[in-house]
Chain A
Amino acid sequence: MSNQVRNYSPLIISASPHIRDVESIPRIMWSVVLALIPAGIAGLFVFGYYCLYIIFLSVATAVITEAIIAWQRKMPVFSTIGDGSAVVTGILLAYILPPGVSWYVPVVGSFFAIAIVKHTFGGLGNNIWNPALAARAFLQVAYPVAVNSDWRILHHGIGNLVHNIVKIDSEGNMIDAVTRATPLAKEAGAETYHLAQLLMGNVPGCIGETSVIALLLGGMYLIYKRYIKWYIPVYYIATVFIMVLILPPQMKTPWANNPFYHIFAGGLFLGAFFMATDMVTSPLTKPGLVIFAVGAGILTVLIRFYSGYPEGVCYSILLMNTATPLIDRFTKPRLYGTRIKRV
């Protein structure tokens, strides 16, 4: 023990806790990157190689922006990039963009996520909102057409990737891709998909959100490593399930009141496992996290049922991010030996 302490410094002068552990920010962040890979591979199979280009653009912009800002803020550049948080933000942002989006959308979005959502508030650990989601909300208003259309999907679906490699026409469009309605589209006559299709991810949607199985694989890995708390996704998804059963929907689609359809379609699993669980923007205590998850679930269903948007995961998590300081204040644990003051 004494040997170990001497290796670091002669005296440790800092506030508690004084626990030393192998876990660190880079380790957690790179594990999240690892956990996100299966969903990316699923996206690659469903949407073709163009989405790899979007993921690359998004991650590259995020990392370059982070490096420039770290340099300007006189922070250590390489350890700031090396902690992987910019990479995670870049990947998450690409995962919530449509597969056929133009090149400038991920670039602008990643720049906004890192420079404005993250660094104007003080960098890693100080941001109020999840950078990827806030950037997505920004893009939603900035380029409403680009991020809400072009839901293309490869003709043959999973298993025929080889056939689809090089078939690109002179305008850069994939010939074998077709544009189809997303599973949550509310318009009359929009397509309905089988639950098995939704589980596999063989449906139109954002790059990383479609395959429930791949997302579950990554999420389970993070829960096993204890980087995310199991009760956030569980309470979030359970709340959506119950709310769909209870509430009367406004739209007239065959799946409107099917809770299984609602939890498997759209970005719920991606949001529940990888975005609501963001350590920076979620509450600190267990009761707080449960309130956070339940609130996000209620808002998701309310937006899906009663607003113009088909999907509510992004806005629900952003709204609960905004409420996080308040939740933290109300769920502050009692100090040992004191009483909770009653007003």
Chain B
Amino acid sequence: MAEQSNLKEFTKGFFLYNPLFVLILGLCPSLAVTTSVKNGMAMGGAATFVLVSSNFIVSLIRPYIPREIRIPCFIVIIASFVTMVELLMKAYLPPELNASLGIFIPLIVVNCIILYRAESFAYKNRLLVSVLDGVGMGLGWALSLCIVSAIREVLGAGTFLGLKVSESYNPASVMIMAPGAFIALGLLLGFFNWQKQRKSEKALKEYRKYD
């Protein structure tokens, strides 16, 4: 593998390979739990913790994982961390937050972002970059969850982090229901693709100037 820059491995999760907006991974929890910013943050935090820890362990013991059964090994590693997160969240977070996240915390086990990073990155790379990759990807996903959930909570419930945005605003409850999730995510994906397209068009123009 070519020379890696630690900083690049960390920052790629935020924009260039953002798991939600660019790779379009982890759609199921992104659509289901983003009804409020609190949910989005809790989900993002839990997933980031699992991602960093699983990347750390996978990268650490990668010489000892037989190639043929690597996927079951990853799942066992991820599942142990998910169990830890689940028990910790049950112990320390408010019960209504736990209730609203529900089944989606145990389902982090099969979250494709975590499995994807274990398989395609941590299994092939050194310890430090694997952890940085996990932190970057996890925070990138958490950030995109916050963006989606902020839009949905402000429009659909008229609140932000539980605080009322405006007295006179009449919330459109559709935005915190399932169709609102699809509309918000679809428009955000469209927006990011549009920005990327404009960027590449600009670069092409710049390139042609010197041609």
Contacts and interface: CB of A to CB of B under 8 A. Distances in A.
Contact of B173 (A102, A108, A142): A142
Contact of A108 (B172, B179, B186): B172
Interface in B161-176: 170, 172-175
B71 interface: no
B38 to A, nearest CB: 22
Interface in B63-114: none
A138 B187 CA distance: 16
Contacts of A126: none
A102 B97 CA distance: 34
Q: With a 10 A CB-CB cut-off, give which of A104, A108, A142, A144 has the most chain B CB atoms.
A: A142
A144 B170 CA distance: 12
Interface residues of A, number: 11
B155 to A, nearest CB: 9
A141 B179 contact: yes
Interface in A137-189: 138, 141-144, 146
Given A116-B183, A116-B187, A120-B187, A138 B170 contact: no
Contacts of A144: 173
A142 B190 contact: no
Contact of A141 (B170, B177, B187): B177
Interface residues of B, number: 11
Contact of B174 (A104, A138, A146): A138
Contacts of B190: 120
Contacts of B173: 141-144
Contacts of B186: 120
A274 B188 CA distance: 33
Contacts of A120: 186-187, 190
Contacts of B179: 138, 141
**Does more than half of chain B's interface fall in helix, strand or loop, or is it mixed?**
helix
Contacts of A116: 183, 187
A141 B176 CA distance: 11
A104 B170 contact: yes
Interface in A42-66: none
A142 B175 contact: yes
Interface string B171-205: 01111010100010011001000000000000000
Q: With a 10 A CB-CB cut-off, give which of B170, B173, B186, B187 has the most chain A CB atoms.
A: B170
A168 B183 CA distance: 39
B187 A143 contact: no
B152 to A, nearest CB: 12
B114 to A, nearest CB: 32
B198 to A, nearest CB: 11
Q: With a 10 A CB-CB cut-off, give which of A102, A104, A120, A141 has the most chain B CB atoms.
A: A141
A108 B174 CA distance: 12
A142 B172 contact: yes
A257 B175 CA distance: 38
A319 B173 CA distance: 23
Contacts of A141: 173-174, 177, 179
A100 to B, nearest CB: 15
B170 A143 contact: yes
Interface in A110-134: 116, 120
Nearest to B194: A72
Contacts of B183: 116
A67 B8 CA distance: 41
A138 B177 CA distance: 12
A282 B186 CA distance: 25
A36 to B, nearest CB: 27
A104 B171 CA distance: 11
A142 B179 CA distance: 10
Contacts of B172: 108, 142-143
B173 to A, nearest CB: 6
B145 to A, nearest CB: 22
B178 to A, nearest CB: 10
Contacts of B174: 138, 141-142
Contacts of B187: 116, 120
Contacts of A142: 172-175
A116 B187 CA distance: 9
Nearest to A140: B174
Contacts of A138: 174, 179
Given A141-B173, A143-B172, 10 more contacts: A102-B170, A116-B187, A120-B187, A120-B190, A138-B174, A141-B179, A142-B173, A142-B174, A142-B175, A143-B170
Interface of B: 170, 172-175, 177, 179, 183, 186-187, 190
Interface of A: 102, 104, 108, 116, 120, 138, 141-144, 146
9 tightest Cβ-Cβ pairs between the two chains A and B: A142-B172, A142-B174, A141-B174, A142-B173, A104-B170, A138-B174, A143-B172, A141-B179, A141-B177
14 contacts: A102-B170, A108-B172, A116-B187, A120-B190, A138-B174, A141-B173, A141-B174, A141-B177, A142-B173, A142-B174, A142-B175, A143-B172, A144-B173, A146-B170
